[in-house]
């Protein structure tokens, strides 16, 4: 049977080799539309506070969540019902936060999905109905209104002696539950110039994008202004809208460049390396500490002439053994490719966690030519 630790080491090495050898080995091209975003064309986050009613006894406990009772009273008063003096103890109402994403260029009447999350001590939102809830953006203006039946992916069930919960029953969604009531004032067709923002800023990639665009249009209309921005100007005499120009440009292909980077997730032991990672010739040795603790309790009995009242007792006996092992000094030659670097680390039979420590030590020694990013 393959040792689990050894398997983990080989698996991590295999993942490193296969995940990021591709861009270098095959010079993968990407469409411009897949690596940039158009400045001004963006989504907006919406949020609102509302009530979910119709729950089957799984709503908020009003004495523990007074804001639920206040919201319910205010809603009833808006509907012409005086509930200030009434003593309410319903268990079918829950206070919730409602969130949604307003897509770019959403027009009045467009429907969007909304997410509903309990903010009180409600146990389950299954079967509830969200009442009309205004959704506001960061500027405080209402851009959409949400209402509808809440669908949850989890459930909760309980009896007198046991209970079971699957998923998160206090979270739910309403498909197409929001209606856009206000548009964001932005007209792309009126612009004479637009900026393309790179998702992964890089000077070389920005320059390549500008060169590809100028070559396709046979005129210098694009230039890189910084590692994350390419400025495109409407050509002189161009009679069509800027949208048509962007449509022609976004399907052009570019080979993105990338910095040499090693990303480490210390929680899971995952290591991802870029294709340009290189190391100088370096010697590596790994020490391990093994501590063995053995419990051997013994029984102590009173002697023949022991004082009256003496009892048999169990006495703890603990043995501690410490062994320190050091692997022989191994030399990693200066690498030319990522495959050779991975092969060198795996050849040392290094486990995943130890590989993280070695990579950090290589960076501290200045032997690894890459940016080290620890998540």
Distances (CA, A) of 182 to 56, 63, 65, 142, 147: 35, 37, 33, 7, 17
Q: Say yes or no to pLDDT of 375 above 80.
A: no
Across the chain, mean pLDDT equals 78
Residues 201 and 223 in one domain: yes
Residues 211 and 93 in one domain: no
Q: Say yes or no to pLDDT of 58 above 60.
A: yes
Residues 54 and 171 in one domain: yes
As a whole-number percent, the residues of the chain with pLDDT over 90 amount to 28
Domain boundary among 202, 225, 254: 254
Residues 134 and 217 in one domain: no
What are the b/e assignments for 32-57, b being 16+ CB within 10 Å?
Answer: beebbebeeeeebebebebbbbbbee
Helices of type H across the chain: 4-20, 22-26, 32-35, 66-78, 203-217, 242-250, 338-347, 352-364
Residues 61 and 173 in one domain: yes
Bigger pLDDT: 343 vs 146? 146
- 306 in a structural domain: no
Residues 13 and 118 in one domain: no
Q: At what angle do helices 242-250 and 203-217 cross, to 10 degrees?
A: 110
Q: Give the three-class secondary structure for 35.
A: helix
Q: 139's torsion region: left (phi>0), alpha (psi -120 to 50) or beta?
A: alpha
Report pLDDT digits (tens) over 97-107.
999 999 988 89
Residues 49 and 175 in one domain: yes
Bigger pLDDT: 185 vs 147? 147
Residues 196 and 174 in one domain: no
User: What range does the domain containing 348 cover?
Assistant: 4-24+261-296+315-374
d(CA 236, CA 354): 60
Residues 85 and 135 in one domain: yes
Q: Could you tell me which of 128, 146, 151 has the C-alpha nearest to residue 136?
A: 146
- 354 in a structural domain: yes
> 286 near 358, Cβ under 8 Å?
yes
pLDDT band at 158 (very low <50, low <70, confident <90, very high): low
- 226 in a structural domain: yes
Residues 55 and 176 in one domain: yes
> 279 near 368, Cβ under 8 Å?
yes
- 80 in a structural domain: yes
Domain boundary among 163, 180, 197: 180
How many domains is the chain partitioned into structurally? 3
- 309 in a structural domain: no
Residue 192 sits in a domain whose CATH number is 3.90.1150
* Residue carrying structure tokens 């002439």: 305
pLDDT mean over 58-65 = 82
Residues 169 and 286 in one domain: no
Residue 198: the pLDDT is 92
Bigger pLDDT: 238 vs 17? 238
Residues 344 and 218 in one domain: no
Bigger pLDDT: 28 vs 12? 28
């Amino acid at each position: 049977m393959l040792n689990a630790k050894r398997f983990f080491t080989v698996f991590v090495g295999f993942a490193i080799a296969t995940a990021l050898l591709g861009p270098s080995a095959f010079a993968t091209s990407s469409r411009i539309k897949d690596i940039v975003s158009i400045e001004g064309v963006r989504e907006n986050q919406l949020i609102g506070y509302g009530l979910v009613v119709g729950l089957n006894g799984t709503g908020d406990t009003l004495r523990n969540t007074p804001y639920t009772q206040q919201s319910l009273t205010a809603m009833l008063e808006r509907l012409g019902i005086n509930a200030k003096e009434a003593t309410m103890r319903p268990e079918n109402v829950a206070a919730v936060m409602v969130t949604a994403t307003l897509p770019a260029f959403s027009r009045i009447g467009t429907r969007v999905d909304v997410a509903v999350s309990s903010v009180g001590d409600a146990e389950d939102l299954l079967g509830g109905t969200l009442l009309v809830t205004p959704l506001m953006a960061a500027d405080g203006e209402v851009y959409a209104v949400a209402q509808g039946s809440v669908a949850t992916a989890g459930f909760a069930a309980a009896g007198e002696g046991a209970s079971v919960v699957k998923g998160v029953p206090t979270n739910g969604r309403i498909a197409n539950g929001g209606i856009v009531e206000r548009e964001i004032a932005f007209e792309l067709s009126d612009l004479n110039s637009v900026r393309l923002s790179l998702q992964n800023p890089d000077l070389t990639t920005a320059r390549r994008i500008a060169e590809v665009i100028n070559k396709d249009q046979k005129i210098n209309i694009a230039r890189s202004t910084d590692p994350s921005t390419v400025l495109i100007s409407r050509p002189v005499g161009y009679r069509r809208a800027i949208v048509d120009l962007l449509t022609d440009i976004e399907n052009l292909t570019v080979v993105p460049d990338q910095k040499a980077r090693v990303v480490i997730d210390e929680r899971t032991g995952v290591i991802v390396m870029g294709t340009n990672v290189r190391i100088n010739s370096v010697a590596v040795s790994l020490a391990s500490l093994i501590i063995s603790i053995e419990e051997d309790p013994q029984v102590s009995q009173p002697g023949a002439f022991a004082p009256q009242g003496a009892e048999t007792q169990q006495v703890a006996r603990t043995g501690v053994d410490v062994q320190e092992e050091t692997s022989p000094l191994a030399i990693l030659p200066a690498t030319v490719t990522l495959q050779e670097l991975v092969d060198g680390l795996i050849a040392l039979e290094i486990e995943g966690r130890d590989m993280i420590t070695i990579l950090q030590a290589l960076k501290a020694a200045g032997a690894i030519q890459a940016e080290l990013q620890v998540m």
